Amino acid sequence: MEKYRIVLASASPRRKQLLAQIGLTFTVCPGEGEETLQKESPQQAVEKLSRQKAEEVFGRMPDSLVIGADTVVACDGNILGKPKSEEEACRMLSMLQGKKHEVYTGVTVVWPAAGRAEGQKFTFHECTQVEFYPMCAEEIAAYAATKEPMDKAGGYGIQGRCAAYIKGIAGDYNNVVGLPVGRLYQELHKRALV
């Protein structure tokens, strides 16, 4: 059905699951670049990193439609990536508990263009506000000990055990999980790419 071979430039099992959920057929080819955050806004950071990932993989697979994505958590002016230790996960969760924060995912799509090696592309980001219930130190430690926080921006998985501590969100849930498939599908569909 798809006009191009679709490639997801991400190693995240959650992004893979979300793209499959909306019925697209694709292969996975993670980018090899380093993710580094600099002094920039969360929206600039995730857009730039998603572009780097998509462009890098498109350079290797120039006949494909490549989707890159990057997610960060923003709280009180801090950008939170993936915690490097259980202690860092606890610090992040202490910061998030009992209040609202924002999750940003940037998405870039690159696909072939006649006569242009760099292809055509578009980039967007979605922002979702997430509100946590209060968590006591014991609950934070017990949750961190599950290891669920370790590979996730902000130190939590909304689609995992952390659901017990989520009061609500405003925006796209899948954007928090790591890929705003609603907006992505709409952007692809309006360009007749799917």
Rounded Cα–Cα distance for residues 117 and 132 (Å): 45
Positions in the binding site for a second copy (CB under 8 A): 18, 21-23, 128, 133, 158-161, 163-174, 181-183, 185-186
Rounded Cα–Cα distance for residues 128 and 177 (Å): 10
Alpha helices in 8-158 (DSSP H): 13-21, 42-60, 86-96, 137-145
Q: Is 8 exposed, middle or buried (0-12, 13-18, 19+ CB in 10 A)?
A: buried
Q: Look up 70 and say whether it is catalytic.
A: yes
Q: Tell me the residue type at 123.
A: T
Check 63, 70, 151, 172 and give the catalytic one: 70
Reading the block at residue 19, the tokens are 């793209």
Backbone region of residue 100 per phi and psi (left: phi > 0; alpha: psi in -120 to 50; beta: other values): beta
How many Cβ atoms sit within 10 Å of the Cβ of residue 5?
Answer: 14
Active site residues: 70
